[in-house]
Amino acid sequence: MAETSGIPSSLSRGILQPRVVAATLPTPDVLQRGNGSSTSSSGRKKTSTWRTWPSSSLGHLVGLSTIGLTSRYLSRRSSKNTLGRQPVALRAGGAQYGDEFVGDEVDADLVDSLKQRTLEALDLDFILERLQGLCYTATAAEMAVDPHALLAQSPEEARALYDTVLELTQLEDADLDLEAKLDIADEVDKCTHGLVLEPNQLFKVSESIEALLRLRNGLEAANTRGVEIPSLLAYCQDIDLPDRLLDIMLEAFQEDGELSLKKFPELAQLRQAVRELEEACSRTMAEVLSSGKYSAYLSDDGYMQFGGHYVLGVKPRFKEKVGRMFDESRSGRTAYVEPFEVIEYADGLSKSKKELERMVRRIYGNMSLAISSASEDMKRCLKAAALIDLARARLFLGEDMEGEVPKVGDDGIIQVRQARNPCLVLRGGKKVVGYRLELGTSSQCLLLTGPNAGGKTVVLKTLGLLALLARCGIPIPGGEAPRVDFFEVVLADVGDMQTIVDDLSTYSAHLVASRIMLSAAEGVGPRALVMVDEAATGTDPQQGAALARAMLESFLEMGARVVTTTHSNQLKDWAFQDERTMTAAMEYKLGRPTYRLTTNAVGESHAIETAQRLGLPTSIVQRAEQLLSDDQRQLLALQRQASAAEQDYVAAKLEAEEREEIAKKAIGDAAAKESDLAYREKEIAKMEVSLKQRMEALQRQMQAELKARVEVKERQFQDAVLRLKTEAQKGGSRLRIVGDALEDLRVEFKAPTDQERAEEKSSIPGTMGIRDPLNVGDWVVVLADPPWHGLKGQVEKLHLAASGRAPQVSVRIGATGKLKEFYKTELKRTQAPPQSARKLKKPKQEAAAPTRNYSNMMF
């Protein structure tokens, strides 16, 4: 199958996700069939309900029926038959071939009938049904199935329709807020005729007005953001409603459909009064019943409401003692009386309810009057919204067909690289074969030849549909950069033309159709596209071919573009001779059609092979071969020989391809092994690099660990030296550090001599000796001369002393916090002071030494 091309990336962007209801296409004359499923190229899920339409839809377009969409989106209303064609009723004696088929009046009727028959024959009704299913608004849905409103009337109009479609691709989802049905045409018409709408109808109109404003605001916001959408903004200009209507309708209803109390505060007051009076009536009635005041007069328990009044069931003879009677039972045994206690409340309640009802009716009347006054504005807004909705439906339909926006000219040219039948694409299923089609550039006429059931008619219909889609502004499934010019006249002679004119034979109806097409194409030039299926059939082959050639030549002399299918050898010969005509053949291989199109070629009909392939009895096929002329039998034999040779060629080709595949596989295996070897070599190289990196990292780690261990040993050595020095300080000059290595370091103590012991004795009674233990943090009493005598302090530091001398000690005096140096022999150990006084505060700066002598003072 030929490859298909999708919609451009800019066009495949979905704006919204509507639900689609698809109809089943009438079976075309082609063996390509689908399963009826479809998926959008943009990935939009279609939760659709498939419906099968009867075969009679071939004779009627979508205007004869309605499509039921999901209620959330659109409920279709019945529309008039805009496409349904009725045969032209001619004068009596239709079987007589005479002047009754000639005349301007008859021609005008026949032209209209042929145009409608053309739309049916090309299956445009199926396309429009799908377009309708993609519309949200009711007006757009009605327009979608009306080709007279849908088809552009000029190339400029067709290009404008495509411009709008392309503008939609630039929008974000939030820019196009259009999901409401806007189905309020009937309500607007009722107001125009002076009717007051019901509350639910006014609520519907209010919602539609708000939806219209959201649509306009969203598009204007996109334009403010810098999105170029001139065509959509032109539609927005028509969405403009008078202030009087907006003032009364906007935010006029709550979500439940009731009038908004915020919008109409006077309603809130009256409703509050009604509620209060109802509560008062209920409360009063309950009090009356609980008091038992009228219990002897009652015929029934409880109370009821009667016409807005609260009444009791009372025995008739006591009714005047209870209150005001409103009614009595049929038997006359019970009178319904409103008690005296509740009459005032009930009258006030009745009055308030009437006033509330009058106010509500006045608001509804004002709303209806405002809608009536703005009816033309409303219709204009609805139409503008419908045109926007219809443009969006065109975009979505183009996405479903993987379509492209074509170039639309005015020269009668069709150039497409991968033209696919839109109906077959929408049906889904098997892949649709694409054709490269060209008309109007080097040739005016395309003559399609080939076998029966080979797809000629599908190609013809595809060309006609592409021309109609271009006029409708719908992206076409034609591959990249397609061109489909504007064709003012699109007429097709396809199928049974007896449906055009009553009481004529098939060939006569074709002749009448040909005359009408000649008349319609006259003066139009290249804007006319004429399609004739199976030209030169239905009569004597020689005369039919001559008439068909003369007719085709007339179309070409007018400048029209012509597409025709034929099995006539005379027409095939003529097409080769006439430079204005290009031939094309449907491919036929291995005894069956492939549905591919080959240009500048002529195809055979293969009638005998087709009959045999489709299961006609062998005896009949053989008899048909016997009845052929010698030349025809020779031609048939040659065709079979060619087919057999082709089969042999295909078989040889397949065998060669298999061998080539085996060779390719062997080459691939060798390449894979080579690639695997190269991969392994790369992996080994990577492993070597990784191993080298790991070794280097390990060396760096070992060096770091060694350095750390050395640093630890150094710190241990320093700590040991510090401890030794401290011990030496504690022991005085008799201690010394001996040893060169850390492990050999030790402290030696030299015993003092008797003379040294005498010198070391303290000169101050009660003080410490040089060798008495003293540690940092110990508390001492100073026994030195005043002014420090008797002060207590805490040892902060021990100093080394020269041999035989008492070491000095730094003491923080507790009273002043001053740090003072004393000899160890001037201090005496003492107990620590209480806990609160243990921590001595250091002064910010050392105090100056006292200038007075305090030795004579008592401490």
pLDDT at 127 over 90: yes
Partnered with residue 529 across adjacent β-strands are 490, 561
Instruction: Give the whole-angstrom CA distance, residue 11 versus residue 665.
Output: 42
Strands 335-339 and 435-439: unpaired
Highest mean pLDDT among 210-214, 498-502, 772-776: 210-214
Q: Please say if the pLDDT value at position 106 is more than 70.
A: no
CA 300 to chain CA centroid, Å, is 66
Tell which of 614, 638, 669 closes a domain: 614
Q: Residue 666: inside a domain, yes or no?
A: no
Task: Report yes or no on 53 lying in a domain.
Answer: yes
More confident residue, 451 or 517: 517
Nearest-angstrom CA–CA distance, 132 and 474: 13
The reply to whether 237 and 270 lie within a common domain is no
Task: Indicate if 303 and 225 belong to the same structural domain.
Answer: no
Q: Give the model confidence (pLDDT) of 634-665 as tens digits.
A: 666 666 666 666 667 667 877 888 888 888 88
DSSP 721-758: HHHHHHHHHHHGGGEEEE-SSTTT-EEEEPPPPHHHHH
Task: Return the closest-CA partner of residue 443 out of 271, 599, 328.
Answer: 599
Residues 316, 218 within the same domain: no
Answer for the pair 811, 782: CB distance below 8 angstroms, yes or no: yes
Residue type, 151: L
Among residues 335, 370, 405, which one ends one of the domains? 370
**196 and 365 Cβ atoms separated by less than 8 Å:** yes
**Do 549 and 404 have their domain in common?**
yes
Nearest in space to 249 (alpha carbons), one of 307, 179, 303, 184:
184
Confidence of residue 60 (pLDDT cuts 50, 70, 90): very low
Residues 272 and 237 in one domain: no
Is residue 745 domain-resident?
no
Residues 516 and 409 in one domain: yes
Q: Which helix (H) or strand (E) holds 328?
A: strand 323-328
pTM of the entire predicted model: 0.59
Rounded mean pLDDT of 69-78? 30
Residue 277 has pLDDT above 70, yes or no: yes
235 and 279 together in one domain: no
Question: Do residue 384 and residue 351 come from a single domain?
Answer: no
Domain membership flag for residue 452: yes
pLDDT confidence tier of residue 740, bands split at 50, 70 and 90: low
pLDDT of residue 307: 74
Task: Using alpha carbons only, give the angle 386, 390, 393 rounded to the nearest 5 degrees.
Answer: 140
**SS3 of 79, please?**
coil
pLDDT of residue 43: 37
The CATH number of the domain holding residue 759 is 2.30.30.30
Is residue 114 domain-resident?
yes
| pLDDT of amino acid 29 | 37
Per-residue pLDDT, 347: 87
pLDDT tens digits for range 390-414: 999 999 999 999 999 999 999 999 9
What would the two tokens of residue 291 be? 């008091």
Instruction: Judge residue 667's burial from the number of C-beta atoms within 10 Å of its C-beta, 0-12 exposed, 13-18 middle, 19 or more buried.
Output: exposed
CA 68, 72, 77, 82 torsion: positive or negative?
negative
- Residue 486, classified by CB atoms within 10 Å of its CB into exposed (0-12), middle (13-18) or buried (19+), is buried
Q: How confident is the model at residue 510 (pLDDT cuts 50, 70, 90)?
A: confident
Q: How confident is the model at residue 627 (pLDDT cuts 50, 70, 90)?
A: low
Given a contact cutoff of 8 angstroms between Cβ atoms, the answer to whether 166 and 13 are in contact is no
Cα dist from 738 to 2, 540, 749, 750, 751, whole Å = 103, 141, 10, 12, 16
Separation of alpha carbons 95 and 282, rounded Å:
86
Question: Cis omega (within 30 of 0) on the bond before 265?
Answer: no
> Quick one: which of 739, 736, 757, 755 has its CA closest to 747?
736
Give the DSSP letter of residue 623. H
Looking at the structure, tell me whether residues 506 and 467 fall in a common domain: yes
pLDDT at 489: 92
What pLDDT is stored for residue 519 in this prediction? 86
User: Which distant-in-sequence residues (6+ apart) come within 8 Å of 843 by Cβ?
Assistant: 816, 817, 818
Counting every residue written for the chain, the total comes to 859
What is the extent of the structural domain holding 359?
265-370
| Cα–Cα distance, 390 to 396 (Å, whole number) | 10
Which CATH number does the domain housing residue 168 bear? 3.40.50.300
Hey, which residues does 797 pair with through a beta bridge?
810
Does residue 627 lie within any of the structural domains? no
Residues 76, 211, single domain; the answer is yes
Which of 614, 648, 670 corresponds to the end of one domain?
614
Q: For position 13, what pLDDT does the model report?
A: 37
- Among 57-71, 212-226, 813-827, the least confident range: 57-71
What is the Cα–Cα distance from 127 to 131, expressed in whole angstroms? 6
What is the pLDDT, as a whole number, of residue 723?
Answer: 73
Q: Are 36 and 50 in contact (CB under 8 A)?
A: yes
Q: Give me the CATH number covering residue 366.
A: 1.10.1420.10
How many domains does the chain divide into? 3
One-letter amino acid at 90 equals L
Confidence of residue 483 (pLDDT cuts 50, 70, 90): very high
Beta-carbon contacts of residue 164 (< 8 Å; ≥ 6 apart)? 231, 232, 387, 388, 391, 473
Residue 120 lies in a domain: yes
Strand-strand pairing, 489-493 and 528-532: parallel
Same domain, 127 and 274: no
> What would the DSSP string read from start to end of 541-573?
HHHHHHHHHHHHHHHHHHT-EEEEE---HHHHH
The model's pLDDT over 313-360, given as tens digits with 9 standing for 90+, comes to 888 888 888 888 888 888 888 888 889 988 888 888 889 889 999 999
**Are 460 and 587 found together in one domain?**
yes
**Six-digit token pair at 136?**
């949200």
pLDDT, residue 80, reads 35
The answer to whether residue 163 is domain-embedded is yes
